[in-house]
Amino acid sequence: MKNIWEIRNVFISNTGKAVLLASYAWGNHARRLQALPDQDLIEECLKDVARVHSVPYKRIRELYHSGVVKKWNLDPYSLGAFVFAYPHHV
């Protein structure tokens, strides 16, 4: 991924599962990424999470439950627009 920001807030549901936003891209970078299949993007994010946190990829894969990819430029209702917040402003 292009940039890495430290995440201080992890949201854990009442089921004990946590949510992690692994990538947030916009502009030309987002347009390049939208050409890739969702599963390929998720796998790249999992590899990056493993690398950034010095955890074996196999362990990250074991902990992973599901992922979602949102391609704003392909959304007919947003026409490429999205809410923009800097890290730690949410």
What separation in angstroms does the CA of 29 have from each of 32, 33, 35, 48, 81? 5, 6, 11, 16, 15
Res 7: pLDDT: 55
- The CB density around residue 45, as the number of other CB atoms within 10 Å, is 19
> pTM for the whole thing?
0.71
- The CB density around residue 41, as the number of other CB atoms within 10 Å, is 19
Q: What is the pLDDT of residues 72-88, one digit of tens each?
A: 888 888 876 766 667 77
Give SS3 for 13.
coil
Average pLDDT over residues 43-60: 90
Q: Read off the tokens for 52.
A: 């950034």
> With 80 as the cut, is the pLDDT of residue 23 above it?
no
Res 10: pLDDT: 58
> With 90 as the cut, is the pLDDT of residue 24 above it?
no
Q: How far apart are CA 13 and CA 83, in angstroms?
A: 23
